[in-house]
Chain A
Amino acid sequence: MADTKLISKIPDGPLAEKWTRRKSEIHLVSPNNKRKLEIIVVGTGLGGSSAAASLGELGYNVKVFCISDSPRRAHSIAAQGGINAAKNYQNDNDSIYRLFYDTIKGGDYRSREANVYRLAEVSSAIIDQCVAQGIPFAREYGGYLANRSFGGVQVSRTFYARGQTGQQLLLGAYAALNRQIAAGTVKSYPRHEMLDLVVVDGQAKGIIARNLITGQLERFGAHAVIIATGGYGNAYFLSTNAMNSNGSAAMQCYRKGAYFANPCFAQIHPTCIPVHGEQQCKLTLMSESLRNDGRIWVPKKMEDVMKLRKHEIKPSQIPEEDRDYYLERRYPAFGNLVPRDVASRAAKERCDAGYGVNETGKAVFLDFSEAIQRLGHQRVAERYGNLFEMYEKITDSSPWEEPMMIYPAIHYTMGGIWVDYDLQTTVPGLYAIGEANFSDHGGNRLGASALMQGLADGYFVVPVTIGDYLSKKFAEPRTDVAIKEFDEAEKAVQARIDRLFAIKGKTPVDVLHKKLGNIMWEYVGMARTEEGLKKAIEEIKVLREEFYKDVCVPGTQYEFNQELEKALRLEDFFDIGELMAYDALNRRESCGGHFRLESQTEEGEAKRDDENFMYVAAWEYKGDGKEPELHKEPLKYEFIKVATRNYKD
C-alpha cells in the first residue's frame, strides 16, 4: 500500500542519469528573488556549515544556529580517519559504481539506490572543493594526494589529514561560512538552541530558539528550515558523541509532523577505548584507520586470559601461536577490515565467550607490533602518531610497547528524519541533511562516509534541491513572527520549561540519563530480542515518570543554565529511546547494526529477511504517550542484485 506522504521523488531513468535529470527539472530562483528569501539552518557541523555557506553564496538570506560558542565546535570536528571519494587516484579499479555498491552492501541493502548513487557521484567534487579551500590533506612525496583503506571495501579511496580529517573539513566549511558571514549573506547565532519548529498552514516557517546566555526565548521566521543537527547516539549516555550532541531538533520536527525513519539503526563502533569505571561519561573512539595496520586478537587459552586480568603477564608475552586473530580467522577476505557492525559483533562474541582481556572482561587487543616491524617506527608514527598519543594520555599505556585495548561503543545513528530524494521531509519546507536524515547508510554506515555525506548534502545537494521549493515562494513576504503559530509554539516551549522547574526534585539530570543509557545498552544495544525490547519500552516509561517526579533542575531560565539544557534534551532522549525500541521490535530481522537474536544463521551471522522487511520504516508521531504509527517505503533495487553480505571470501 503506497503511503500518500512517503513519496520518495526518485527521478526516472538509468541510475547514472537520475541526478542530472533531477537537476535539469528543478526550477531556478533568480538572483533578485533569492535576496527576498530567508533560510534557517540549524546546526553547524559539516552539513550545516557547508549548506549555510553555499546558500549564502547563492544569494539567499541565511540564519545559522548552533548550541556551542562557535560553529567550529560541532561534533564533525572529532571525526578522525577520513573521507571517501571515488577518485580512483590509486588506479585500483575504483569507480562511482563501486563506491555506490560498497555503500549499499555495507548498509545491508536498506538504503535507497538513487540517493546512494548520487552520493558516490558527487564525492569527487567534495575533494576538489576541500583542496581548493586549503585543506592540508596527506600527500605522497610526489605531491599527489594520498589514500588509505577503510572497513568493508577492497580499494584505497579514503582521503585524510592525519587523524584529524573531520577537523580539517569542518574548518574548511567553517571558513566558507565565515566568508559569507563577512559578506553579510549569513547571520550566525551561536549559543542558541532550537526548541521548536513552527509550522504555518502545513509548511515549515521558522523556529523557536533559546538564547543560551540570556535564557530568553526568541522567534525566527524563514521561507524554509534545514535541520543539520546530527545524530541521537547520546540516548545511550555513554557514546563517542560529544557531550552536547543531541536529538532534540529532530524530535521537535517529528512532533510537528516529520516522519522519523529507521530509528533502530544505530552504529556500534568496534574500536573504542573500553569503559574504565562508574564515573565515566564519555567514550573515546580510536579511528577505524588503525585497522589498516593493527591486528585484532584475544588469547586462545583461557589461562592466558586469567593471567592478563590479574596483570601476571603482558600481552606481548603471549606467543603468536596462542593468539586468536578472530577476524582474520572468520573473514579471511576482509580480515581486520570488515565493516563496523561485523567487527563489533565478533568482539562481543569473543568477550561473551569469556576471552575479554581486561578486568571487566570487555576488551580485545588491537596490536601494532607486526606493523611496527614491517613499516618501521617513523612510518607508523606518521600514520597514527597522534592516535597513539591520545590513547596513551587516556589509558597511561603506550601502544608502541603493548597492544591497545578496545571495545565496541555507540558511535553514529543511520536512522533519522525521513527525507525524499530532494532531502525534504514530510513537512513541506523542512529539509534534513547529514547524520540528521536517514537516507544513505541503510543499516550500517561504512567508515569515512559520514564526512562524505555531510558535505555532499551541504555543498552539492540541498543548495540545488531547495531551489525547487523556494522557486514557488519568492512572492511570499518574510514570515511574520508575531502570528499565532509562533505565539503557540513559544507558549508550548515556555510551558515545558516551567514544568521542569516546578518539579523541584532531588535527582540530577545526568543520573537519570545514565539510567536511560543502561536500559538502551542492555536492551536496544548490540543484541536485541522481542522480550528485551518490550522491557525497554516499559522501563523507559517508568523512568520518564521518575524524571517528572524527581528531576532537579537548579537555577532559573533566564541565565546560562547547563542543567536546564540537559533536562530538555533528556526529555527528548526518552522519546527517541522509546521510538528506537518500537522500531527494533517491529523489525524482526537482523540487518546491519540491528541484530535480533531471533534472526541469525547457524554461524551466528546476521540473517536478513528481505521478503518482509525490505522497506524503510517511517514513524509518525501520534501524540504523547501514544504508540507511533508505522508507514512503509518499499525499497526497490533495480540496478544491483540484492545478496547476502559476504566478507569471508
Chain B
Amino acid sequence: MEFNLKIWRQKNAKAKGHFETYHVSGIESDASFLEMLDILNEQLIREGADPVAVDRGCSSSGPVSFDHDCREGICGACSLYIDGRAHGPDEHITTCQLFMRHFKDGATITVEPFRSRAFPVIKDLVVDRTAYDKILQAGGFISVRTGAAQDANEILISHDTAEKSMDAASCIGCGACVATCRNGSAMLFVAARVSSLALLPQGKVEAKRRAEAMVAKMDELGFGNCTNTRACELECPKGVSVEHIARLNREFLKAHFSN
C-alpha cells in the first residue's frame, strides 16, 4: 500500500509548527500505523544522510518524533491525532493498535499531536502530559503505608463492585479524552481515578478530599470544563464510561456541602 502523509512538524515548544507532506510506499496492510511511521523515519534518515537528497530539499527536518513504547495498547505513551480523531479512525484503540488495513490505498492521512493548552508540544508529535501526573499527585491515591495492610480477604468486595472499579481503573492516561474534548477538559481522566477508588471500601475514606483536590488541580493546570458532550467516552481507548463523571460530580458535591 502507499500513502501521502501530512505530518505536523515543530522543532520545539517555542517554535512555530507547520505541516509537511511525505510519501511512503510498499507498506504491508498488516503493518501498524506506528510501524508505517518507523518506515517513514527510516526513509527520512536515509535521505537526510544523503547530501544529494538534502540539496533537493528532502527531509530538512529529519525523522518525525512521536511517543510510543509498549505497542500493545496499555502504556498510554502513543498519542497521535489522525485524520481528526484521537488515536485515528477505529473504535477503542490506541494509536499503536491502528493498522494500515483501515485506510484506503493511496489515501492522504493527516497526523497531528494531541492538542490541548495543558499539553504543550515538546517536538513534532510529542506532547508534555506531566499535568496528568500533577493531578494524580494532588490526591489520586489511598494513603496506606507500606506494610500496614491487613489480610487481603478481610474486607469483602462484591464481584460487581470490583468489576466496576476495574472498568474505571483501566484508564491508561493517554490523554485522548482531553484531545477530543472541545473544551480540553480532563474530566474523564479525573473521574476514572476518583470513581475507581471511591467504589472500593479502602478508597471511600478519602473520597471527598480526593475529588476536591484533583478537580482543583485540574482547573489550576488549565484544563477546560466538562459540558457533557460525551465525545471523550467515544474516543477512550479503554471505553471508560462517562457514568464515572457522574460519580465524580457526586463526590465533589458531597465534599462541597460538607465543607
A contact residues vs B (CB 8 Å cutoff): 50, 53-54, 57, 68-73, 75, 77-78, 87, 89, 125, 127-145, 161-162, 164, 167-168, 171, 174-176, 178-179, 181-182, 188, 190, 213, 242-244, 276-277, 279-282, 284-285, 390, 393-394, 396, 459-460, 463, 504-506, 508, 510-511, 552, 554-555, 559-560, 562-563
Contact = CB atoms under 8 A, between A and B. Distances in A.
Contacts of B130: 69-70, 190
A488 B140 CA distance: 41
A560 B12 contact: yes
B65 to A, nearest CB: 6
B166 A161 contact: yes
A181 B141 CA distance: 12
A563 B63 contact: yes
Contacts of B155: 131
The 6 closest A-B pairs by CB, nearest first: A143-B156, A132-B149, A175-B141, A136-B165, A128-B149, A136-B166
Contact of A563 (B45, B70, B72, B138): B45
A510 B202 contact: no
A131 B138 CA distance: 21
Interface string B146-188: 1111111101111101110110011011000000000000000
Contact of B137 (A78, A178, A511, A563): A178
A143 B200 CA distance: 12
A405 to B, nearest CB: 13
B248 to A, nearest CB: 16
Interface of B: 11-12, 27-28, 30-31, 35, 38-39, 41-42, 45-46, 48-50, 62-63, 65, 67-77, 93, 97, 99, 101, 122-123, 126, 128-130, 132-133, 136-153, 155-159, 161-163, 165-166, 169-170, 172-173, 196-197, 200, 202-203
Contacts of B140: 175, 178
B172 A181 contact: no
Given A175-B136, A282-B71, A511 B42 contact: yes
18 contacts: A54-B146, A68-B75, A70-B133, A78-B75, A133-B141, A141-B158, A143-B157, A144-B156, A176-B146, A242-B69, A242-B71, A284-B71, A390-B97, A396-B99, A552-B49, A554-B62, A554-B63, A555-B62
Given A134-B196, A137-B152, A276-B30, 13 more contacts: A70-B173, A75-B69, A75-B70, A128-B149, A139-B159, A143-B157, A162-B170, A242-B71, A243-B68, A244-B69, A285-B72, A396-B99, A459-B146
A2 to B, nearest CB: 36
A72 B177 CA distance: 18
B150 A139 contact: no
Contact of B156 (A142, A188, A281, A506): A142
B159 A141 contact: yes
Contacts of B172: 167
Contact of A459 (B77, B128, B147): B147
B101 A396 contact: yes
B101 A213 contact: no
B121 to A, nearest CB: 10
Contact of A168 (B68, B158, B169, B202): B169
B244 to A, nearest CB: 13
Contacts of B12: 559-560
A87 B151 CA distance: 10
Contacts, number: 224
Contacts of A162: 166, 170
Contact of A279 (B35, B173, B196): B35
A382 to B, nearest CB: 9
B122 A68 contact: no
Contacts of B45: 508, 552, 554, 563
Contacts of A277: 28, 30-31
A243 B69 contact: yes
A554 B48 contact: yes
Contacts of B197: 134
B141 A77 contact: no
B42 A510 contact: yes
A54 B144 CA distance: 11
B144 A132 contact: yes
Given A213-B122, A393-B99, A77 B75 contact: yes
B128 A69 contact: yes
Contacts of B148: 132
B75 A554 contact: no
Contacts of B67: 69
Nearest to A159: B152
A168 B143 CA distance: 17
Contacts of A552: 45-46, 48-49
Given A57-B146, A175-B140, A188 B200 contact: no
A162 B169 CA distance: 11
Contact of A78 (B35, B74, B144): B74
A84 to B, nearest CB: 14
Nearest to A141: B159
B50 A506 contact: yes
Contact of B28 (A164, A276, A459): A276
A393 B68 contact: no
B30 to A, nearest CB: 5
A145 B166 CA distance: 14
A279 B149 CA distance: 48
Contact of B77 (A73, A213, A555): A73
Contact of B123 (A506, A510, A560): A560
B150 A53 contact: no
Nearest to A504: B49
Contact of B145 (A57, A139, A506): A57
Contact of B196 (A68, A136, A394): A136
Nearest to A276: B30
B75 A75 contact: yes
Given A69-B77, A70-B132, A139 B162 contact: yes
A129 B77 contact: no
A279 B137 contact: no
A279 B99 contact: no
Nearest to A54: B146
A390 B62 contact: no
A394 to B, nearest CB: 7
